[in-house]
Homo-oligomer: A and B are copies of this chain.
Amino acid sequence: MKLATYQDSSRDGQLVVVSRDLSQAHYATGIASRLQQVLDDWSFLAPQLADLSAELNAGRARHAFPFEPARCLAPLPRAFQWAEVQTGAQAATRATPPLVQGAGDALLGPYDALRLPGDDLDIDFEAGLAVIAGDLRQGATPAQALDAVRLVMLSSSAVLRQPAEAERAAGLAPMRSRPGTAFSPVAATPDELDGAWQDGRVQLTLQCSLNGRRLGLCEAGAGMAWHFGELLAYLAGTRHVRAGSIVGSGALDGVDAARGQASIAARRAAEVAATGQPVTGYLRFGDAVRVEMKNRAGHSVFGAIDQEIAPLA
Contacts and interface: CB of A to CB of B under 8 A. Distances in A.
B106 A104 contact: no
Interface residues of A, number: 50
B105 A117 contact: no
A11 B240 CA distance: 14
A115 B237 CA distance: 12
The 9 closest A-B pairs by CB, nearest first: A80-B105, A105-B242, A101-B101, A179-B238, A100-B173, A81-B105, A81-B103, A176-B237, A179-B239
B101 A173 contact: yes
A230 B301 CA distance: 43
A275 B19 CA distance: 70
Nearest to A239: B179
Contact of A239 (B95, B96, B138, B180): B180
A239 B139 CA distance: 34
A43 to B, nearest CB: 15
Contacts of A78: 80, 242
Nearest to A78: B80
Interface of A: 11, 40, 78-81, 83, 86, 94-96, 98-106, 115-117, 138-139, 160, 163, 170-180, 234-235, 237-245, 312
13 contacts: A11-B242, A78-B80, A80-B103, A81-B103, A83-B175, A99-B175, A100-B101, A101-B103, A103-B239, A103-B245, A106-B239, A139-B312, A180-B239
Given A103-B245, A163-B238, A176-B238, 11 more contacts: A11-B40, A80-B106, A81-B105, A96-B172, A98-B170, A100-B101, A101-B173, A103-B241, A106-B239, A175-B235, A176-B234
A139 B176 CA distance: 11
A144 B96 CA distance: 40
Nearest to A312: B138
A174 to B, nearest CB: 7
A86 B173 contact: yes
Contact of A98 (B79, B81, B172, B241): B172
A245 B94 contact: no
A234 B80 CA distance: 20
